[in-house]
Amino acid sequence: MTASRDTVAEAARPAGSAPSSGRSRARFMIVALLFVVSTLNNADRAVLSITGTEMQGDLGISEVTLGYLFSSFAWAYMLAQLPGGWIVDRWGARKVYAGSVFLWSLATLFQGFVPLFGIASAMIALFVLRLAVGLAEGPAYPTNGRVVATWFPASERATASAIFNASQYAAPVVFTPFMAWLTHGWGWPSAYFVMGGIGIALSVWWWTAYRQPRDHPRVNQAELDHLITGGALVDIEKPAPSGAKSGVHVWSAVRQLLSSRMMIGLYLGQFFITTIVYFFLTWFPIYLIKELGMPLLKAGFTASIPALFGFVGGILGGLISDALLRRGMSVTAARKIPIVVGLLLSTSIIACAWTSTQTVVIVLMAMAFFGKGLGSLGWTVLSDTAPKEAAGLSGGLFNTFANLAGITTPIVIGYIVDLTGSFDAALVYVGASGLAAALSFLLVVGRIERIKLKEVAR
């Protein structure tokens, strides 16, 4: 059986590639691919934050209206999570992710054409296209969680999840200056055209490069054994035996997940973490421009500094968690220690309300983003807890609660800024969310373990 499989795998290897004498490392290529796709995912949802001030001048958009435009993506994205999770459970990661990337990139590209509609119609078109991006991105993060559970053993799962989750910091580092440069030099529609084109090309790359572990031409038997022994769900897409019941009863699974205190704590924690994320994805560049008086191009580059610290914190959190697990700590302790420490550090953003010095603000933001990155292990905990029969669905439900913050955060901050004329109270709101997230993981989640559904067949 083993020899036969290795023969098939060898025959499927690309020309010029040699089999590894030891354990292959195809899983690292997979997580690199996840990271690239997720970076574009986060960049495309944040284009409006870079182009927003220019669009306000061209289209006469108020602060409150801009807040609603920011949240329009999140409304659709949140509603798409459960269907997106079910879709990836039904049709698999390769097909679903390729289609998802293509569709959200097409909707991004079309946003560059909205000035052709005139001011009133442009607003409607922009709102609808933001909804379309949110709907198309729905399967993305449930697929990420499913792929990590498929391709990584428990002892490497936090690092793998941290890598793809760090894309939310890599996106501002790489794309915020780039999009600001495009907007400054060629007008704001150019940012949408370029980002949409990049995504369409990336959808083809995913389709070409992604396979399940048993089907991947660069996976040898040693790596496959390593995955299986470590608890990776390598057969998650394997068809059920003939005559067996298959599939998950969606609403039964949802009810059981919602009845778990552990999962409720996880959902609450991720909601508050995502509040911090959406401040940085939406209002942060505008805060730099309007509150601190930075020109657009400088704001684009400055916004990348805290994001870089968030990226480092995100990777470090995963490495620390996996190291603690390998040293003999329980999964619960290994995950919660970096989460709680990091999220408490993220509350340093509150101090920005008492200073307007640009350098001090950036230092405090960098500390907060580093802490938030360190504590962003929610997707790791999900991979540790999701029932194998409904990994995509579980990820969809998790991300539904998380992205409620994508609706509330832009609107709440929009009203705060409109009513008070400053961002001070908004910064306190964001910092308090970090504290609430830490308390959710510390006091509500309890022991971290994989859920076993009582009823999984239709």
User: pLDDT value at position 390?
Assistant: 72
Query: Average pLDDT for residues 19-41, to the nearest whole number?
Result: 83
CATH code for the domain of 421: 1.20.1250.20
Inform me whether the pLDDT recorded for 285 exceeds 50.
Answer: yes
Q: What is the pLDDT of residues 230-255, one digit of tens each?
A: 877 777 776 554 444 444 577 777 88
- Could you list the residue range(s) of the whole structural domain that residue 276 is in? 25-235+245-444
Residue 169 lies in a domain: yes
Residue 5 lies in a domain: no
User: pLDDT value at position 156?
Assistant: 85
What's the structural domain count of the chain? 1
Distance (Å, whole) CA 219 – CA 383 = 22
Backbone φ, ψ for residue 236 (5° rounding): -60, -25
User: pLDDT value at position 199?
Assistant: 93
Residue 15 lies in a domain: no
| Best-predicted range by mean pLDDT (1-5, 85-89, 413-417, 453-457) | 413-417
Average pLDDT score, the chain:
81
> Percent of the chain scored above 70 by pLDDT?
88
The number of beta carbons lying within 10 Å of the beta carbon of residue 455 is: 12
pLDDT category at 403 given cuts 50, 70, 90 is confident
415 SS3 class:
helix
Residue 449 lies in a domain: no
The number of beta carbons lying within 10 Å of the beta carbon of residue 7 is: 10
Inform me whether the pLDDT recorded for 5 exceeds 50.
Answer: no
Nearest to 44 by CA among 155, 198, 166: 198
Residue 52 lies in a domain: yes
Residue 184 lies in a domain: yes
